[in-house]
Structure 1
Amino acid sequence: MGRHSQPDEDDKSNATETDTDALDSDATPTRSAKADAFWEKVGVEPVEIALPKGVGLTLRAYRMSDTVEPVEAEEEPAEEPEPKPKRGKGKTKPEPEPEPEDVDEELDEEFEDDDEESDEDVEEPVEEIPVFLTLRGRLPLFDSPKALVKFVKSRPPTELSGIDTWDELVKGIKPEYVVASEDDTYELDLVVRNLRGGHDTWDPDLIVSAAEVARDLGYALRIPSVMSTLAQGSPLDDLDNALRAVAEGGLRAVFAKRRARKVGAEQTSLAWRGIVVKINDAVDWRK
């Protein structure tokens, strides 16, 4: 699946006819024009994410926050309440009824608290947000397009089912359409190892792309530590900006490389290790 499954050129040249057929079946799939048109129409894209535990597929959309309908997933069965103590021996003495003056004071305090809360109520800003197939705070990742399509067709109460084109997506999605483009393929499993190699080995495209999907997942999965570590103005955000300039090339890339070299390699790899672990722990692997 994706770049992780591409065979080496030497392996191809030495393969027998049977082996070549097997290699062709494992080669990176291409996406048809019909599939491109479908994804553009529904405003959603397949995403492939590689993590230490494996490689999986999901779907991601970007929408304005005020256009995504909240979706309530079924709650887990609640634990049975503890039995109340029986009357009789050992019974706790009831609290005395408050005096009328005490009641008035308590009501006044409650009204004051309500006033303070209403003053603090501020409308959330409307902004573009990432929306995934997240379910009860978890991210299902699928090992095949067929498994992902079967899941979507079952109409689960995921966050993505709150977008405006969900019904159209469910109706039209096909396994052959679920092919992630190169821009939507992320290798989070390689980031820490690359950073540990030192500044001279850092791959700007790898790290910038990993930061993009990690920010999206941190928001979608409500992982505060991931969001704060990659927040605007953070050391990793500054590194991200420098590496973007390096990837773009030109004169700015020279100064950007100098800025990137000032970032501690060990601290950066440790910070990224924490990000990958948190995301990895929030994944449900599905077949």
Structure 2
Amino acid sequence: MASQSDESEKSVAGLSGQRLWDEVRIEPVEIALPGGVGLTLRAFRKSSELTPTEVEAEEEDLFDARKRGAAVDDEEEVIVDDEFQALLAEGDADQKVDEDAKATAEEEPDPADFEDDAADEDVPMFLSHKGKLLAFKSPESLVSFIRSGAPHDLAQLDSWAALAEQVQSTDIDPSEDDRYELDLVVENLRGGHDTWDLPLLIAAGEVARDLGYALRLKPVILALSPGSPLDDLDDSLRSAETGGMGGFFGRRKLKKIGAQQASLGWRSVIGKISAAVDWRD
């Protein structure tokens, strides 16, 4: 009985260019960073089908450990304020604690409620290994790695063997929608609202979110999380780009966002992403 890998290899035989990428459901991506322009690969699959990248454990910061120890000591010291003493005197303390706990339980959603939704969601995965994005400076070096059999996170895809068998350096030609210029973001934001390049900044937000999720970069995920200043910036950029009445209000909202704050926030995000890149040539 033929395996899925064998069937994939047969289905891509003779394919090249965009037809090959469409068949294997993987795409070449070009990302420009302050350290250079790199080529890599990205795929979207259901989260239930993927094993996340392994992130190497970081060494414990001695100062953080000391702070945590101090926090534990502080928690052991019982401080009773006047209000709590009054509650004890009235015999209502236990009842109040129970009511607060019940209210908190009702307000906080059960994580299990979201498991089914998360399992059905398409999530990004890049050509990465142990939390590092593998980036190549030429199509030839990328193809050489694809064929090498070296370990990486995309190897778990059922279409990977077929891609490795068929891909040529001439196939590594990312579309315009898959080219990202993160190296220009901070400078563009510093130029002020009138010079902001909306497509550039919106695309940067998209790939930064993908990289944050795929590489498990918590600072990037938090910086771009819903309700954050950079997320508000992204929403306003998208509204401004739509035109019409929505675009009018989007541009008004953009005027209220500080260019310096936005550039500093993005500088931090790009720094975290750059630190997670493993340049292979």
1:127-276 equivalences under 5 Å are 127-276=121-270
Q: Distance in 1 between matches of 2:190 and 2:111?
A: 45
- Report the more deviating stretch, 193-202 or 60-69: 60-69
Say which structure is richer in helix: 2
Cα pair distance change 1:72/1:251, threshold 3 Å: closer
Q: Given the alignment of the two structures, is residue 63 of structure 1 paired with residue 45 of structure 2, yes or no?
A: yes
Q: Calculate the TM-score normalised by the size of structure 1.
A: 0.69
Superposed displacement of residue 70, structure 1: 6.0
Q: Is the 8 A contact 2:54 2:131 kept in 1?
A: no
Q: Higher Cα Rg: structure 1 or 2?
A: 1
Cα pair distance change 1:71/1:257, threshold 3 Å: closer
Q: Distance in 2 between matches of 1:129 and 1:244?
A: 21
Superposed displacement of residue 284, structure 1: 1.2
Post-superposition CA distance 1:129-156 (Å, at most 9, x none): 1010111111111000110011111122
Q: Is the 8 A contact 1:50 1:189 kept in 2?
A: yes
Q: Is the 8 A contact 2:16 2:167 kept in 1?
A: no
Q: Distance in 2 between matches of 1:121 and 1:232?
A: 18
Superposed displacement of residue 220, structure 1: 1.2
RCO higher in 1 or 2 (8 Å CA, sep ≥ 6)?
Answer: 2
Q: Is the 8 A contact 1:46 1:184 kept in 2?
A: yes
Superposed displacement of residue 167, structure 1: 1.3
Q: Given the alignment of the two structures, is residue 39 of structure 1 paired with residue 21 of structure 2, yes or no?
A: yes
Q: Distance in 1 between matches of 2:135 and 2:207?
A: 14
For 1:176, the aligned partner's letter is: T
Q: Distance in 2 between matches of 1:47 and 1:145?
A: 11
**Equivalent residue number for residue 6 of structure 1:** none
1:11-90 equivalences under 5 Å are 34-69=16-51
Q: Is the 8 A contact 2:53 2:130 kept in 1?
A: no
For 1:161, the aligned partner's letter is: A
SS of residue in 2 equivalent to 1:48:
strand
For 2:255, the aligned partner's letter is: R
Superposed displacement of residue 166, structure 1: 1.2
Post-superposition CA distance 1:42-95 (Å, at most 9, x none): 01110000000100100000110111256779x99xxxxxxxxxxxxxxxxxxx
Q: Is the 8 A contact 1:68 1:164 kept in 2?
A: no
Q: Distance in 2 between matches of 1:46 and 1:266?
A: 33
Cα pair distance change 1:169/1:43, threshold 3 Å: same
SS of residue in 2 equivalent to 1:217:
helix
Q: Over the residues paired in the alignment, what is the CA RMSD in angstroms?
A: 2.2
For 2:49, the aligned partner's letter is: T
SS of residue in 2 equivalent to 1:156:
coil
Cα pair distance change 1:70/1:202, threshold 3 Å: closer
Superposed displacement of residue 223, structure 1: 0.9
**% identity of equivalent residues:** 51
Superposed displacement of residue 157, structure 1: 2.1
Cα pair distance change 1:71/1:226, threshold 3 Å: closer
Q: Is the 8 A contact 1:52 1:189 kept in 2?
A: yes
SS of residue in 1 equivalent to 2:227:
coil
Q: Calculate the TM-score normalised by the size of structure 2.
A: 0.71
Structure 2 residue ranges without an equivalent (≥5): 1-14, 58-109
Q: Is the 8 A contact 1:44 1:60 kept in 2?
A: yes
Q: How many residues align?
A: 211
